[in-house]
A and B are shown apart, each in its own frame.
Chain A
Amino acid sequence: MTLLAVERIKLFSTRSPWWCVVVAVGLTVGFTALMSGFANEQGTVTVGFTQFSYQFGLMVLMVMAVLAVTTEYRFGTIRTTFQTAPNRAAVLTAKALLVAVLAGVVALAAAFLSFWVSDLLATNSDLSLSGADAWRNVAGTGLVAFLAAVLSVAVGILLRQSAAAVTVVLVWPLLVEGLVSLIPRIGQDIQSWMPFVAAHHFLFGGQPDSAEAAMMMGMSDVPYGPWAGIAYFGAISVGLFVVAVITASRRDA
């Protein structure tokens, strides 16, 4: 508990996390508002449609999670931290937990705001949060953001440099996972086992507009269900985090 309180003070006594939160919510909700506003005439706004722009917020929250670690390496405060609390695994777990909870809550708020804004703007469509699939799609973004933040913290611990770590967490989901499908014959199979594809499938799999959502990621059909997708994404995030903690405990601070 002490370590969580410490990480909370550290995170919120600088300004960049606040900006990240504002930008993450603003981008997600703003883009959704544009989409829903202009789609109103066709009357085709669905629950999934209101959530397509979750990626904007997710990328910003992942950058925030990376910077929460790499700035500590950049400014040497990680050494002060390990000096005051020599149990590095505990320190890093507290940090990851705090950042992940923040990312989850912000993503959740952005998701529900997006739905609400769409409900206001898309007067010709009949939007309602009914059924497990719809709830999974909206509330699930919180879980995806939580796990993505853990993954980002792990990348930050392993690489220690802001530029390198930010590049990895942006280029991987935005480019690598999309472009891997271009490899002839095996590309599509590889792609369906990419972590962010699995997370995306958790949100949109089984929805009436899942084909549309899949198209946005440039992805093909995947051979597992939505909940298996999030379990797979979670296993990769937590696995990478464990590797990062072991690495950090062994090397010099």
Chain B
Amino acid sequence: MIEARGLTRRYGNKVAVDDLSFSVRPGRVTGFLGPNGAGKSTTMRMILGLDRPTSGTVRVNGQAYHELDQPLRRIGALLDAKWVHPNRSARAHLRWLARTNRLPDRRVDEVLEAVGLAAVANRPAGGFSLGMSQRLGIATALLGDPEILMFDEPVNGLDPEGIRWIRGFMRDLAAQGRTVFVSSHLLSEMAQTAEDLVVIGRGKLISQCTTAEFIDNASESLVRVRTPQAEELRAALARADAEVRVEVETGALLVSGVTTQLVGEVAAAGGVVLHELAVERASLEQAFMRLTDDAVEYQTTALPAPELVTAGR
């Protein structure tokens, strides 16, 4: 259980985290979603007592982080896989961490085994690939066998095999009854792993709900239809109160506010031939962007067109 109440962090004039309140429940994977620069990492550092909140509190199992005795046994975290001395071996890195919380040395070998690094345990961590570093970071988080696990963008920069492994791993951890709190800037990634979502933008809470609710609310269901009888179908759908747009490049119809069943039935009733009938999944990211649109930290603006200077006149 992680509980934030009115959590706020300012850096000078800039507000990184703004009056953020949320809770993370046990036995589930909770996604922490927001665009880059939304304040996810700052919030996670405050949970771990690394950064000091300007105001507000965050509690882990009802206690402030610095009150926890042997915190590795309560909450394990991977914030940055590169927080390792490059000349220290993976085993030596885990050994000193284990010693801080009086964990037995054999626990080091157990977690190395669990993340598949046993074979390279004595190699310096500086030579590890991103995927291996990420596995070492996860081993670090697992070391104290904690009830709460926290990962900051764990799949960033990983290959598909690594991504698949991490997703499965997080689901397993939640299935064991642990609290898993994982951040990402991709809704599609969260849709795969998280049951609950805490969505933030510009440091403010946008929504806290289940992933299914968030997707339902956020994305208009868009059905894509290709047919040689576009005009007839369009008229028939309009009678069924569906909103229809035409995709300019392909001439396909994009129907919103309806299910594929309805479109199929309308088409059959009108004797219209269909070449394609599909739900547009891409709208997931679009929906997320629409929700966090005002909340994007680094917005792009169109560059002004260069003024042409004609020489020789």
A residues at B contact (CB < 8 Å): 2-3, 5-6, 9-10, 13-16, 71-72, 75-77, 79-87, 250-253
Contacts and interface: CB of A to CB of B under 8 A. Distances in A.
A252 B89 contact: no
B88 interface: yes
A233 to B, nearest CB: 31
Contacts of A3: 100
Given A2-B100, A9-B95, A9-B99, A252 B85 contact: no
Interface stretch (B63-71, B112-120, B169-177, B231-239): B63-71
B140 to A, nearest CB: 7
Contacts, number: 75
B72 A84 contact: yes
Contacts of B65: 86
Q: How large is the interface on B (under 10, 10 to 19, 20 to 34, 35 or more residues)?
A: 20 to 34
B48 A83 contact: yes
A250 B50 CA distance: 10
B207 interface: no
Interface of B: 45, 48-52, 65-66, 68, 71-72, 77, 79-80, 82-89, 92, 95-97, 99-102, 140
The 3 closest A-B pairs by CB, nearest first: A76-B83, A13-B92, A86-B66
Which secondary structure dominates where chain A touches chain B? Answer: helix
A77 B50 contact: no
A2 B86 CA distance: 24
Nearest to B86: A75
B49 A83 contact: yes
B177 to A, nearest CB: 23
B92 A84 contact: no
Nearest to A80: B83
Given A9-B99, A75-B83, A84-B100, 10 more contacts: A9-B95, A9-B96, A10-B88, A10-B96, A13-B88, A71-B85, A75-B82, A77-B84, A82-B50, A86-B71
A97 to B, nearest CB: 16
Given A75-B86, A76-B80, A79-B79, A252 B95 contact: no
B90 to A, nearest CB: 11
Given A75-B83, A80-B140, A5 B99 contact: yes
B100 A15 contact: no
Contact of A2 (B51, B87, B102): B102
B88 to A, nearest CB: 5
A249 to B, nearest CB: 10
B198 to A, nearest CB: 21
A82 to B, nearest CB: 6
Interface-central residue, A10, A83, A250, by most chain B CB under 10 Å: A83
Contacts of A9: 92, 95-96, 99
Contacts of B97: 80, 84
A14 B87 contact: yes
B101 to A, nearest CB: 6
A51 to B, nearest CB: 34
Contacts of B48: 83
Contacts of B80: 76, 79
A79 B48 CA distance: 10
7 contacts: A13-B95, A14-B88, A75-B84, A75-B86, A76-B83, A82-B50, A83-B48
Contacts of B71: 83-84, 86
A253 B85 contact: no
A28 B198 CA distance: 61
B83 A79 contact: yes
A190 B97 CA distance: 46
Contacts of B82: 75-76
B96 A13 contact: yes
Given A2-B99, A6-B100, A252-B52, A14 B72 contact: no
A251 B11 CA distance: 12
Nearest to B67: A86
A75 B66 CA distance: 23
A107 B294 CA distance: 62
Nearest to B50: A253
